[in-house]
Amino acid sequence: MQDEIERAFFGSSNNLPGIRVPFTETFEKDGKYCVRAELPGLKEDEVKVEVNDEGIVIQGAHSDQKEEKQGEGYRTERQYTEFYRVVPLPEEAQVEQARADFQHGVLEIQIPLSQSQRQGRQIPVNASGSAQPEKKSAQSEKAERAA
């Protein structure tokens, strides 16, 4: 049952005991690449964010201790959870201008994207089975032969 509770708050396990992978979402907004990670119950000083060759690394640890009096003695329960997540970055990310905000258990990282490298083009979508080359018109065939 403890695993299910941790999975609900920290995401899936990465098969290492005590290390969890937080839920994240990535999206583009206003020319920025955004990463949002849910880290409920954590404080700002328990979270570390860095950029390396793999991407954005979100990691940290959380410990919790509960004490309750039972008759003449005390019962103490401690829980220690580490989390680690790597989120790949697009090539046009300008990491030197990255910024991270942490509010109400949600970490949001915003990284501006270089507009000069973001050139795209639309790709036509053909109906299934019609991916054959277009037939040339009679005029374009004549123009090619004349050239």
- The token pair that represents 129 in the structure block: 């089975």
Tell me the pLDDT band of 15, cut-offs 50, 70 and 90: very low
**CATH 1.20.1530.20 is right for the domain spanning 2-117:** no
Tens of pLDDT, residue by residue over 128-143, are 865 555 555 555 555 5
The CA distance from 29 to 18, in Å, is: 34
pLDDT over 90 at 28, yes or no = yes
Q: Which of 119, 113, 109, 120 is nearest to 92 (CA)?
A: 113
The CA distance from 132 to 127, in Å, is: 10
Domain positions in the chain: 2-117
Tens of pLDDT, residue by residue over 46-63, are 999 999 989 999 999 888
In which region does residue 91 sit, left (phi positive, over 0), alpha (psi from -120 to 50) or beta (all else)?
A: alpha
Q: Point out the least confidently predicted range of 39-43, 45-49, 63-67, 137-141.
A: 137-141
Alpha helices in 1-147 (DSSP H): 2-10, 138-146
Mean model confidence pLDDT for the chain: 79
Tell me the pLDDT band of 10, cut-offs 50, 70 and 90: very low
